[in-house]
Amino acid sequence: MKKIWARKAAVFEGVAISIGLWLFSCSNLYACSCAPQPTPQEALRDADAVFRGTAIQVGDVDMKENAALLPMKKRIVLRVKTVWKGPHEKELVVLTGAGGGDCGFGFVLGGEYLVYAHVGGMPSGYHTGLCTRTRDVAWLSDRQNAQEDFQALGPGTPIATVESRRFP
């Protein structure tokens, strides 16, 4: 009986070691760990761009042409509605990770977001992620946090779009 349990224990130990080695050898294994979130005012001060916009394109970054952007796997084009800081453009491009363990923010086509974006540390463009105060304005769990931010940030500067202009 002891031999059977010893054999089962050895098999279990071997499987556990194999799984552990496989996990540690995975090159795309990431863990997202964030510091406590700053206040909206602190996040505004530290960000390079803060704006509200709608995701009009969500796609993958071409890793063959942009190897330096390795942690940034998604490219999002947002139609800007309001700006608190940064360029007053109708559209802005933001890069983020794929989501989950690499701290990428899960943008969805057509979703409306409050984005806190940064430039530093990346070769080009703005980037954001889960560790910023970026929020999905419509998602129930983020809605209250976004409203708190909007109150703290104030009205911002609306960006006129073709659809919102009135022609005489």
Q: What is the pLDDT of residues 32-79, one digit of tens each?
A: 888 898 999 999 999 999 999 999 999 887 665 554 445 568 899 999
C-alpha 80/C-alpha 141 separation (Å) is: 22
Question: 161 versus 23: which is more confidently predicted?
Answer: 161
Burial 112-129 (b: 16+ CB within 10 A, else e): bbbbbbbeeeeeeebbbb
* Minimum mean pLDDT range among 14-23, 90-99, 158-167: 14-23
pTM: 0.72
Mean pLDDT in residue range 145-168: 77
pLDDT at 1: 59
Query: Which positions ≥6 away from 98 have C-beta within 8 Å?
Result: 73, 74, 104
Residue 161 Cα to chain centre, angstroms: 25
pLDDT digits (tens, 9 = 90+) for 78-120: 999 999 999 999 999 999 988 767 788 999 999 999 999 999 7
Residue 19 has pLDDT above 80, yes or no: no
Average pLDDT of the residues in 126-132: 90
3-state secondary structure of 28: coil
